Amino acid sequence: MSDGVAIRQRPAAEPGGDVVPQAIFWRPIDYFTSAVRLGEDDLDRFKYATYCIGNQLTFDLRTYAGHPWATVTMYLPVSVIGSNEVGRATALVIKGFLLPKQAVAWRRGDAFQFGQLHRPAKDRLREPEARLLALKIAACMAERRATTQELIEQAPRFFTPSPIDLQQSSTRPLQPQWHQIIRNVISHRSSPRGPFEQGYAERTKDGLLVTEAGIDYLRSRGYVG
Amino acid sequence: MPTVKAYAGPLPPGVRGIDFNTAIDPHPNGSPFEARWYLGLTAGVEERSNSSGEQLASIAAVVRNRQP
């Protein structure tokens, strides 16, 4: 759970007007924000959140009604078209959200065919991402507290398990692999980069409780406004 | 900026909308999910206006109405 670029959510901001898609991520909008908003433009209705990095870079994450549910698209203002800043801005956003490389479905400059996008076979939940995911899920629960079982039950709202994630666990044959990855977040209590050692969560009898430092951390990742 | 915007690819079965085919290439700033044609920026886009005098973008297309 290393620090990266600080992203701030702008909960009161209206969605950008003329915007251009710059990247697509294999994660649903709930992965990025605890406060999904609804908008509409010339294309369709969409779910969105608006963010900024520093004082200059403002961007939207949107999922239009016609987009695959498990994806989100990053949009920059149309005024940025052709600017050298586009690639840098996209890199900052990916870094700020701590997105794994495999979660980036497409970014400006990549060749593409309309209507064609295939999730990489290697995209799967790994423990660093699961640590952040556990914090996000618990932060949405009553008293910011979640049991391990609740984390597992809620997780599919925040990410879509890949075929590898759904393979049978080697230690618990009746469960998919990604369940074990979530369990590891809680059981690897003394991991130096884990939420407990970082002060972002306290261990409870059967799960975790997100601390104020944890909420501040999620705020710096753009998850809460 | 007046723009024609569309999802890329055919409408999924059972989904309401306007399906169209066009020979006009979209602007290169689309994405795998979206195509755009900008008035003044994309070759082949024509200017239209509605009854309110609002400037609109238009492209020649074969349209199938799938929103009964």
Which domains, and CATH codes, for chain A?
8-107 (no CATH), 127-220 (1.10.10)
Whether B41 is in a domain gets the answer: no
Q: Do B6 and A64 touch (CB under 8 A)?
A: no
Q: Which domain holds residue B1?
A: 1-25+46-68
Smallest CA-to-CA distance from A62 within A51, A49, A53 is with A49
Which of A25, A42, A74 is the best residue to mutate to test the B interface, defined by the most B CB atoms within 10 Å of its own CB?
A42
| Whole-angstrom distance, CA of residue A2 vs CA of residue A194 | 10
B66 in A contact zone (CB under 8 Å): no
Q: C-alpha distances in angstroms, A163 versus A115, A172, A176, A187, B56? A: 21, 17, 10, 24, 45
| Whole-angstrom distance, CA of residue B66 vs CA of residue B68 | 6
B31 in A contact zone (CB under 8 Å): yes
Name the one residue in this structure whose structure tokens are 């914090």. Answer: A135
| Whole-angstrom distance, CA of residue A36 vs CA of residue B65 | 31
Per-residue pLDDT of chain A (225 residues; tens, 9 = 90+): 655 688 999 877 777 778 999 999 999 999 999 999 999 998 999 999 999 998 778 999 999 999 998 999 999 988 776 667 888 889 999 999 999 999 999 999 999 999 889 888 888 999 999 999 999 999 999 999 999 999 999 999 999 999 999 999 888 888 999 999 999 999 998 889 999 999 999 999 999 999 999 999 999 999 987
Count CB neighbours of A41 within 10 A.
17
Q: Judge whether A114 and A66 are in contact, CB under 8 Å.
A: no
| Whole-angstrom distance, CA of residue A61 vs CA of residue B27 | 21
* Number of independent structural domains in chain B: 1
Put simply, whether the predicted model's pTM sits higher than 0.90 gets the answer yes
Q: At what angle do helices A212-220 and A127-139 cross, to 10 degrees?
A: 110
| Whole-angstrom distance, CA of residue A180 vs CA of residue A24 | 28
Indicate the DSSP class of residue A162.
Answer: -
Q: Do A44 and B35 touch (CB under 8 A)?
A: no
